[in-house]
A and B are shown apart, each in its own frame.
Chain A
Amino acid sequence: MADLPKADELFKSINYTPPSTGWMDTPADCSPGNWCYPAKAEKLEYLGFPNPRDWKPSDVDWKLPENWQDIVHQGFKERLGKYRSLKVFMDVCVRCGACADKCHFFIGSGDPKNMPVLRAELMRSVYRKDFTMAGKILSTLTGSRVMTEDVLKEWFIYFYQCTECRRCSLFCPYGIDTAEVTMMARELLHLCGVNINWILEPVSNCNRTGNHLGIQPHAFKDIVEFMVDDIEEITGKRLNVPINEKGHEVLFITPSGDVFADPGIYTFMGYLMLFDHIGLDYTLSTYASEGGNFGLFTSADMMKKLNGKMYAEAKRLGSKWILGGECGHMWRVINQYMDTMNGPANFLQVPKSPITGTVFHSATQTKMVHIAEFTADLMKHNKLTLDPSRNDHIRATFHDSCNPARAMGLLEEPRYIINNVVKNFFEMPEQTIREQTFCCAGGSGLNTDEIMEIRMRGGLPRGNALKSVQEEHDVNMMACICAIDRATLIPLSNYWAPGVDVCGVHELVGNALILDGEKERETDLRLNPLPGKEE
């Protein structure tokens, strides 16, 4: 952190002119600051990932298994047979460059290997050599190369500078999705024991304790009690929050970041107040207390294993359907993978709002509803008593979290909610929102401090867009529907647009909700005085 350059200096250092040496002849920079810390051996051992050891990416010797080239080759071959996406994406790129300036890491760094096309070429070059006739014969002419240790190191550096946000995929004429390529490259790296701790430790925590922070069940209950205390202080009303209780209609699962970290906890308080207000029959679970699926960043198998807890717990508790909190990749997994991997969950029912009677046809198969859909429906049916003036001190903008925006298309629901609870709402520039939204640069397990400069570079497009609404409309709050955003956007906005805070959409709902029998509120959920209530 200490040697992070000032924002304007960093901006000036960006240069889009590629280096004079060809990309195959430019080795990756493995100096500290360019990589996340490698996974601890004990975590790999616990999870059964191969080649656990102590190593450092800045060392020359990465202590790879002896036959690592063969491992990568066989792993590559297996995945080409398992995924049409990988096969097609390795073959059809015409290098038109439409994706080149769409990646936030490229925009902020100018490093050509952060152009999605070149990031994928790092892998394609090996694919051509190993799996195409022309690549085997005419290596330089077809852009193929042998898998060497340098290439592997380059993969590690650059596939951990991709947040799998899929913005490039939107612009690609063939829909080539770098997230798929990155996922495959990371799977291959895992086979050789090359991975990062900020992903593997959460994975191992999620597996054992139920959430990525390793919060144990009793501590989880304590934290919820603290929040109930805070809500009581603010509203004068003590809420009852069921945990691990059987026989409730709805199982609510949210990312554990909402339980643990500021400002996620305010969002969590918002959920609890909402459920109390409408009298929802629900329970939380400590066993399935993590919506975010860090397995997505390791392998399809691990993703399935972690995701499986949601259905398992809903079955054990006898819930009818599952409600999911505000989270990015949690929803990518639920929307695109959950039913395929762990369904069909026929022991559940098609979700129906007990308050409005709305049947959520969009969740017919997964039986899992996004809280933004749920709340928007409540608002449409006028089931909430709201006082938006309690958010008058907030001038909000909305950050579309990449995963819900580009993998689901959840764009209008959060806006509908915000417009119902906040009077001052301003959109960031068109090319930085909705499906064109820019990543927080800390997704896919990269929200770790040792790569802060890389994150700030990647955060430039979002930070810049934020700054523009800050200057134009005095925006002081960026709402989002992702727990990783709530963690990563704070350093980002402190750096690029100081003075803008970050919140979840349901924090704003919690502020505006008028609970039955509550006292007159003096503060918002952050215990800041409400407008007109300042001393």
Chain B
Amino acid sequence: MNALYSLVLVFALVLLALFGVGSAHMVKLFGISLPMVAVAVFLVGFAYRMIKWAKSPVPFSIPTTGGQMKSLDFIHHNKFDNPVTPGQTFIRMVLEICCFRSLFRNTKVALKDGRVTYASSKWLWMFSLMFHYSFLLIVIRHMRLFFEPIPACIGWVEMLDGILQIGTPRMYMSDVLILVGVAFLLARRLWDAKLRYISLVTDYFPLLLIISIALSGIYMRFIAKVDIMAIKQLTMGLVTFHPVIPANVDVSFYVHIVLVCTLLIYFPFSKLMHAGGIFLSPTRNMPNNSRIKHHENPWNDPSIKPHSYEAYEDDFREPMIEAGLPVDKEA
């Protein structure tokens, strides 16, 4: 049901763009105002969320460790799963953010022959890595629309991405991989009963939105064969704040841009902010060194004192003396 709601939402967005541009001729709204607003909302919203998180203190040092701590000289220290220095912690974070290290550990539980079994399960790791890196490549490739002259590195990415040289125009690997990745994530959510049970509209919606963005992009490139120079004129106009609406821009472009803008606007208010939050997770971004170095809790309350020894002795002085235990104050 939640998946269906999300699908309807995405269809509504596509229809909005189709009618908006095709029948209502609101090109300026969809081609200029919306992208401007979307980028602004994305940037301000992203920064706002990050600042809001960062404003809450980290009162305690609470890393979750994944290997041997640094202790005695003859015991091998697992530096990157149980870091003690900022450098080691940095590498742990790099591994987490670039390689999805924790997901790599994933196992799957099953009940077999009266036993609980654990099998390594790297599918989620593999497909999410595939999805995220394809997404990154696609974003980098799209940067050619926003630079004049186009920086060389964007050209390299594009060349590498199309290195298989299949078809004309050349097929990009990232286009295929992102669809495979997202399709897996969606299928997994729908098929795995446990996941379906926990999935909200807000879990399906971004997946379907990204699928439709990818599909509309592919449609533009291979089927509509849109006039790329006209589009670049439009995007350059946006970046230079001299917006123009060239002729010859296919309606499919507007569908694409409405979906992308929706994603940008939706991003800061949704779970997609995991992209920023991962940097701030206290269980991962802190070294496990609170026995070695002082960690400051800004709201630590020095007035909280233990039940004092004096009160304790007052309570038990007689029996203590009788038992021959030393006391500070004789009765």
Residues of chain A touching chain B, judged by Cβ–Cβ distance below 8 Å, are: 8, 11, 14, 16-18, 22-23, 80-89, 91-98, 100-102, 107, 112, 115, 117-118, 121, 132-134, 140-143, 166, 169-177, 180, 207-210, 216-218, 221-222, 243-246, 286-287, 300-301, 304-309, 312-313, 316, 334-337, 339-341, 343-344, 358, 361-366, 368, 373, 376-377, 380, 405-413, 416, 429, 431-432, 434-436, 460-461, 464, 468
Cβ-defined contact, A340 with B297, below 8 A = yes
Question: For residue A92, which residues in chain B have a CB less than 8 angstroms away from its CB?
Answer: 271, 273-274, 277-278, 281
Question: For residue A364, which residues in chain B have a CB less than 8 angstroms away from its CB?
Answer: 291-293
A93, B200: Cα distance in complex, Å: 12
Question: B66's closest neighbor in chain A, by CB?
Answer: A435
Residue B316 at the chain A interface, CB threshold 8 Å: yes
Cβ-defined contact, A134 with B269, below 8 A = yes
Contacting A at CB under 8 A, from B125-159, are 128
A313, B52: Cα distance in complex, Å: 41
Cβ-defined contact, B201 with A141, below 8 A = yes
Residue B240 at the chain A interface, CB threshold 8 Å: no
A406, B68: Cα distance in complex, Å: 9
* Cross-interface CB contact of B114 among A11, A97, A435, cutoff 8 Å: A11
A308, B308: Cα distance in complex, Å: 10
A84, B107: Cα distance in complex, Å: 29
Contacting A at CB under 8 A, from B90-139, are 96, 100, 102-103, 105-109, 111, 114-116, 118, 124, 128
Known interface pairs A221-B325, A464-B115. Does A216 touch B64 (Cβ–Cβ under 8 Å)?
Answer: no
A381, B103: Cα distance in complex, Å: 40
Complex A-B: 25 CB contacts under 8 Å = A8-B114, A82-B57, A83-B57, A85-B283, A87-B56, A91-B53, A92-B278, A95-B198, A96-B103, A107-B109, A132-B269, A134-B270, A143-B200, A175-B102, A208-B307, A208-B315, A305-B305, A340-B59, A340-B297, A343-B294, A373-B72, A380-B74, A408-B69, A409-B78, A413-B72
Question: B319's closest neighbor in chain A, by CB?
Answer: A218
A361, B291: Cα distance in complex, Å: 9
A412, B5: Cα distance in complex, Å: 52
Residue B165 at the chain A interface, CB threshold 8 Å: no
| Distance from B46 Cβ to chain A, minimum over Cβ atoms (Å) | 13
Cβ-defined contact, A435 with B309, below 8 A = no
Cβ-defined contact, B290 with A340, below 8 A = yes
Cβ-defined contact, B198 with A118, below 8 A = yes
* Cross-interface CB contact of A121 among B198, B280, B300, B323, cutoff 8 Å: B198
Cβ-defined contact, A406 with B65, below 8 A = yes
Question: For residue B115, which residues in chain A have a CB less than 8 angstroms away from its CB?
Answer: 464, 468
| Distance from B309 Cβ to chain A, minimum over Cβ atoms (Å) | 5
Question: For residue A140, which residues in chain B have a CB less than 8 angstroms away from its CB?
Answer: 201
Question: For residue A87, which residues in chain B have a CB less than 8 angstroms away from its CB?
Answer: 52-53, 56
Stretch at the interface among B12-20, B189-197, B250-258: B189-197
A208, B328: Cα distance in complex, Å: 18
A366, B293: Cα distance in complex, Å: 8
Question: B97's closest neighbor in chain A, by CB?
Answer: A173
Which one of B68, B195, B291 has the highest number of Cβ atoms from chain A below 10 Å of its Cβ? Answer: B291
Question: A332's closest neighbor in chain B, by CB?
Answer: B62
Residue B223 at the chain A interface, CB threshold 8 Å: no
A335, B62: Cα distance in complex, Å: 9
Cβ-defined contact, A133 with B269, below 8 A = yes
| Distance from B160 Cβ to chain A, minimum over Cβ atoms (Å) | 27
Cβ-defined contact, B202 with A142, below 8 A = yes
Known interface pairs A82-B57, A97-B198, A435-B67. Does A301 touch B309 (Cβ–Cβ under 8 Å)?
Answer: no
Cβ-defined contact, A362 with B69, below 8 A = yes
Question: A87's closest neighbor in chain B, by CB?
Answer: B56
The number of residues on chain B lying at the interface, defined by a beta carbon within 8 Å of a beta carbon of chain A, is 98
Interface of A is mostly: helix
1/0 contact string of B291-320 vs chain A (CB within 8 Å): 111111101110011111100110110011
Question: For residue A142, which residues in chain B have a CB less than 8 angstroms away from its CB?
Answer: 200-202
Question: For residue B237, which residues in chain A have a CB less than 8 angstroms away from its CB?
Answer: none
Cβ-defined contact, A171 with B320, below 8 A = no
* Cross-interface CB contact of A410 among B53, B69, B283, B325, cutoff 8 Å: B69
Cβ-defined contact, B71 with A373, below 8 A = yes
Cβ-defined contact, A221 with B309, below 8 A = no
Question: For residue A339, which residues in chain B have a CB less than 8 angstroms away from its CB?
Answer: 290-291, 294-295
Cβ-defined contact, A177 with B193, below 8 A = no
Question: For residue A208, which residues in chain B have a CB less than 8 angstroms away from its CB?
Answer: 307, 312, 315
A100, B195: Cα distance in complex, Å: 8
Question: For residue A102, which residues in chain B have a CB less than 8 angstroms away from its CB?
Answer: 107
* Cross-interface CB contact of A406 among B64, B76, B96, B273, cutoff 8 Å: B64
Cβ-defined contact, A309 with B114, below 8 A = no
Cβ-defined contact, B288 with A408, below 8 A = yes
Residues of chain B touching chain A, judged by Cβ–Cβ distance below 8 Å, are: 5, 49, 52-54, 56-72, 74-76, 78, 81-82, 96, 100, 102-103, 105-109, 111, 114-116, 118, 124, 128, 192-203, 269-271, 273-274, 277-278, 280-284, 288, 290-297, 299-301, 304-309, 312-313, 315-316, 319-320, 322-326, 328
A202, B168: Cα distance in complex, Å: 74
Cβ-defined contact, A308 with B306, below 8 A = yes
A382, B280: Cα distance in complex, Å: 45
Question: For residue B63, which residues in chain A have a CB less than 8 angstroms away from its CB?
Answer: 336, 407
Q: List 12 other contacts, CB 8 Å, given A87-B53, A97-B124, A362-B72.
A: A17-B193, A95-B200, A133-B269, A142-B201, A173-B102, A210-B312, A304-B304, A336-B60, A337-B290, A363-B291, A412-B76, A413-B72
Cβ-defined contact, B323 with A222, below 8 A = yes
Cβ-defined contact, B292 with A365, below 8 A = yes
Question: A216's closest neighbor in chain B, by CB?
Answer: B316
Question: A172's closest neighbor in chain B, by CB?
Answer: B102
Known interface pairs A133-B269, A409-B82. Does A177 touch B300 (Cβ–Cβ under 8 Å)?
Answer: no
Known interface pairs A286-B325, A340-B295, A341-B297. Does A94 touch B203 (Cβ–Cβ under 8 Å)?
Answer: yes
Question: For residue A405, which residues in chain B have a CB less than 8 angstroms away from its CB?
Answer: 65
Known interface pairs A84-B54, A176-B281, A363-B291. Does A96 touch B323 (Cβ–Cβ under 8 Å)?
Answer: no
3 tightest A-B CB contacts, nearest first? A409-B69, A92-B277, A308-B306
Cβ-defined contact, B72 with A464, below 8 A = no
Question: B281's closest neighbor in chain A, by CB?
Answer: A175
Cβ-defined contact, A84 with B53, below 8 A = yes
* Cross-interface CB contact of B202 among A18, A141, A244, A416, cutoff 8 Å: A141
Cβ-defined contact, B306 with A312, below 8 A = yes
A112, B305: Cα distance in complex, Å: 41
Question: B71's closest neighbor in chain A, by CB?
Answer: A362
| Distance from A336 Cβ to chain B, minimum over Cβ atoms (Å) | 5
Question: For residue A134, which residues in chain B have a CB less than 8 angstroms away from its CB?
Answer: 269-270
Question: For residue B200, which residues in chain A have a CB less than 8 angstroms away from its CB?
Answer: 95, 141-143
| Distance from B157 Cβ to chain A, minimum over Cβ atoms (Å) | 25
* Cross-interface CB contact of B322 among A93, A210, A218, cutoff 8 Å: A218
* Cross-interface CB contact of A341 among B105, B192, B300, B319, cutoff 8 Å: B300
Question: For residue B299, which residues in chain A have a CB less than 8 angstroms away from its CB?
Answer: 82
Known interface pairs A91-B277, A364-B291. Does A340 touch B106 (Cβ–Cβ under 8 Å)?
Answer: no
